[in-house]
Structure formats: C-alpha cells, structure tokens
Structure 1
Amino acid sequence: MSSLKLQKRLAASVMRCGKKKVWLDPNEVNEIANSNSRQNIRKLIKDGLIIKKPVAVHSRARVRKNTEARKKGRHCGFGKRKGTANARTPRKVYQKKCPLKSALR
C-alpha cells in the first residue's frame, strides 16, 4: 500500500477542509496514488473517488438540560461559587435600585 499523504493534503486544500474530513476510496488506491496534481485531485473529486466527510453533530442537549436546572436553582450551592458575593451581584446595583424604587412608590 502506497502512502497517500500528498493526495490527502491536496484534496483537503482543494475542498477547503481539514485532512481529517477527506475520505479516499480504499478500492481505488492505485488510481489515487497516481494523481499528484491539484487538477488530477479535482477530477477524482468529480468522479467520487475522493469525498468530503460530513460535519459531525455537536449536540447542545446536555447544555440545555443544565441551564434549565440552573433556572430552577440547581448547581448554585456554596460549593459551586468562586467569586465573592459582591463579585457575583455588585452592591452598587442595589444602591442604584433603591432610589428608583422609592421614586416609583
């Protein structure tokens, strides 16, 4: 089996993706090995011997579940807190709110 490192790199460049996303047909190794130019690689892509793999799904389901739990007040105990109380909700915010509240009353 010959090394197809060059072909894979060229194909990645032509298809504007990473080398990880390039699929070379294992049944047509000899034909792919003979192509050493971008033009030849383009022809192989057109013929379907070289394919760009689809983008893998990056699910946000777990994140949504966690944010929903945080809205309910989970995961917010003393052990999870890093900053001071003032860093988490500044006192200055309350100082601004008090006059507004009294003005509205």
Structure 2
Amino acid sequence: MSTETESGIDRAHLRGVTVTAIAALFGVAAAVGSSVMTAGADPTVAANSQRALEVVLLAILVQPLLLKVVGLLKDDFGVKDFLFIAFMTFSMWFVSWGVLLSTGAEIAF
C-alpha cells in the first residue's frame, strides 16, 4: 500500500492513534478523579464543583509533558494538536463523569 513504510506501519497513523488513546484514557481518569474529589456530595452540588473542573484541566495540561517524555511530541506539535488533546480529554471526562454522577456511583479512597 502507498501509506505503508518499509516496516509495514504508517508512523503518523500510529502516532495519531496513540495520542488519541492517551487523551481518552486521561479523560476517563479525570472523571474518576473528579468523582473522588466530590465523593459524598449530592450530584447537583458535585456537578458544579470547581475542584472537579480543576482535575480535568490538570489532565489536559499534563499530557503534552507526558507525550514529550514518551517521544510522541515532535517539533511540529502545534495549537491544533493541543486543541485536539484538550477536546478529546474534556469530551471523555464529560461523558464519563456524567455517567458516574447520574448513576450515583461513588469512588472514594
């Protein structure tokens, strides 16, 4: 195929899938973290918690550093890439935390 390299894997595609998977996992982890931060609170109060929002913002800001350490962050990483990571992380957090809030599941340590 024209998109394959000598090793048979398109490196750009593999990088994109990896970045997407990391962003999705960080979003779910942020939802669990938000649930832990608001454990014991009424769901309507928890939904308005500033701490829960801080958890997802931290998850978004940590990812470029992690990607740089792992070696997935190249010199061509720009605003578009950062916005993609922010969107994917926030979307997964929003859906996952919404499910946790609506089911009344509590995750406390």
| TM-score > 0.5, shorter chain as reference | no
Rg comparison, structure with higher value? 1
For the superposition of Structure 1 and Structure 2, which TM-score range results when normalised by the shorter chain?
under 0.3
Relative to its length, the structure with more helix (as a share) is: 2
Query: Normalized against structure 2, the TM-score is what?
Result: 0.21
The higher-RCO structure (CA 8 Å, 6+ apart) is: 2
Relative to its length, the structure with more strand (as a share) is: 1
Query: Normalized against structure 1, the TM-score is what?
Result: 0.21
